[in-house]
Amino acid sequence: MATVVSQQAITSQRPSSNFKASHFLKEPLNVPIKLRQKQFKIQATASQAPLLDPVLSPSKTIPQSYKKKSNEASLILIRHGESLWNEKNLFTGCVDVPLTEKGVAEAIQAGKRISNIPVDLIFTSSLIRAQMTAMLAMTQHRCKKVPIILHDESEKAQTWSHVFSEETRKQSIPVIAAWQLNERMYGELQGLNKEETAERYGTQQVHEWRRSYHIPPPKGESLEMCAERAVAYFEDNIQPELAFGNNVLIAAHGNSLRSIIMYLDKLTSQEVTSLELSTGLPLLYIFKDRKFMRRGSPVGPTEAGVYAYTKRLAQYRQKLDETLT
């Protein structure tokens, strides 16, 4: 808990830092941090000490001592495109199968659509098809910041991936990979095709697993179970960032994103089972005054359509236009 609070105290002095990524954006400190409410000074030194431990779950409520970055934050959700098993019509679940060429193209297309929307932080699942989608999409982004995947699987992984330039860190977008955003785990159906499955278990049963909210396939997760871990992660880790004013991109999967949308739009379990998310089409939400407002899908750069930007987003776009040719 002490670390959490100290982290938060630090961030209050640095309006541009993030919670989750604050350990990334800060220079490593030599001395342990003493907790103080205000007038907190950070002695950034060139000599290197171990990083502060990343804060895994900051509290859900934001203490008043925070200086928010902004009152409004954008949240982009992208479902990854076609994977090699989608193509072969196999149940994928948590098997780490990569994208097809088409999936790669979908990711790039998605990137073009969000190229004008600010992104400060990226969350993905631990599966490569989501990570690739995020990385490919960001190659199209006009801000030219560099996504960097954070590694915290071990202490060594953490120290080995440390960035030693303040300027470079500022030009980076931390990418956090979380298994809680993984696709729903399909248990014993993983790797089977629809035929095999219908033969093994019966068409009726399979339909029930796929379309119900509560019933898990053998050794797998129900949509309810998937929603539980995905939404919990969202509330604990992603929402505080939005509350602080950081713009977030989530690249994940059909079921984990549905679960989050169920939370954002306050859907019932019946509504969520019939919710279908298009692949590769980014969905934009604005988080303001602790509410999520759906803003549809950003239009591609060459399309004429009308789409409700907020004033802040319009200003961001203008800034990009001015600074980049």
Partner 1 sequence: MSTAMSYQSIYSFVSQQSSTISQSSRQPLLLPTKCLKIDSSLCYYTSRRKRNLSKIETISSQISVSYNTTLLSPSKNIIPDNSQKKSNEAALILIRHGESLWNAKNLFTGCVDVPLTEKGVEEAIEAGKISNIPIDVIFTSSLIRAQMTAVLAMIQHRRKKVPIILHNESDQAKSWSQVFSEETKDQSVPVIPAWQLNERMYGELQGLNKQETAERYGKQQVHEWRRSYDIPPPKGESLEMCAERAVAYFEENIEPKLAAGKNVMIAAHGNSLRSIIMYLDKLTCKEVISLELSTGIPLLYIFKDGKFMKRGSPVGPTEAGVYAYTKVRHRFYCSTIFVFFEFSVLDGSLCLQRLAQYRQKLDESSEVICS
Per CB under 8 A, residues contacting partner 1 are 48, 84-85, 88, 90, 93-101, 104, 126-128, 131-132, 135-136, 138-139, 146-151, 153, 156-157, 160-165, 167-169, 175, 179, 182, 185, 187-193, 196
Spatial CA neighbour of 164 closest among 320, 26, 283, 267 = 26
Question: Hunting for tokens 């859900």 — which residue is that?
Answer: 60
Asked about 228 being catalytic, the answer comes back as no
Q: Which is nearer to partner 1, 12 or 86 (CB)?
A: 86
84 annotated ligand-binding residue: yes
229 annotated ligand-binding residue: no
Q: How far apart are CA 236 and CA 250, in angstroms?
A: 14
255 annotated ligand-binding residue: yes
194 annotated ligand-binding residue: yes
Q: Least separation, in Å, of the C-beta of 227 and partner 1? A: 16
210 annotated ligand-binding residue: yes
Question: Hunting for tokens 């995905």 — which residue is that?
Answer: 230
Side-chain half-sphere exposure of 168, counting CA atoms within 13 A: 7
Q: Is the dihedral of CA 197, 212, 264, 16 positive or negative?
A: negative
Q: Which is nearer to partner 1, 74 or 124 (CB)?
A: 124
* List 183, 221, 241, 253, catalytic entry: 183
Which tokens hold the place of 266?
């306050």
* List 23, 80, 141, 253, catalytic entry: 80
Q: Which is nearer to partner 1, 145 or 294 (CB)?
A: 145
185 annotated ligand-binding residue: yes
Q: How far apart are CA 216 and CA 210, in angstroms?
A: 9
Q: How far apart are CA 286 and CA 207, in angstroms?
A: 35
Q: Least separation, in Å, of the C-beta of 325 and partner 1? A: 17
Q: Least separation, in Å, of the C-beta of 90 and partner 1? A: 6
CB 183 within 8 A of CB 253: yes
- Coil, strand, or helix at residue 106? helix
Q: Is the dihedral of CA 309, 257, 138, 291 positive or negative?
A: positive
Q: Which is nearer to partner 1, 165 or 318 (CB)?
A: 165
Question: Hunting for tokens 């992104």 — which residue is that?
Answer: 119
Element (H, E) at 75: strand 72-79
Q: Least separation, in Å, of the C-beta of 77 and partner 1? A: 20
Q: Least separation, in Å, of the C-beta of 9 and partner 1? A: 26
Count other C-beta atoms under 10 Å from residue 318's C-beta: 11
23 annotated ligand-binding residue: no
Which tokens hold the place of 305?
């359509």
Asked about 80 being catalytic, the answer comes back as yes
Q: Which is nearer to partner 1, 205 or 310 (CB)?
A: 205
Annotated binding site: 79-86, 92-93, 129, 183-186, 194, 210-211, 254-255
Annotated binding site for substrate: 79-86, 92-93, 129, 183-186, 194, 210-211, 254-255
Catalytic residue IDs: 80, 183
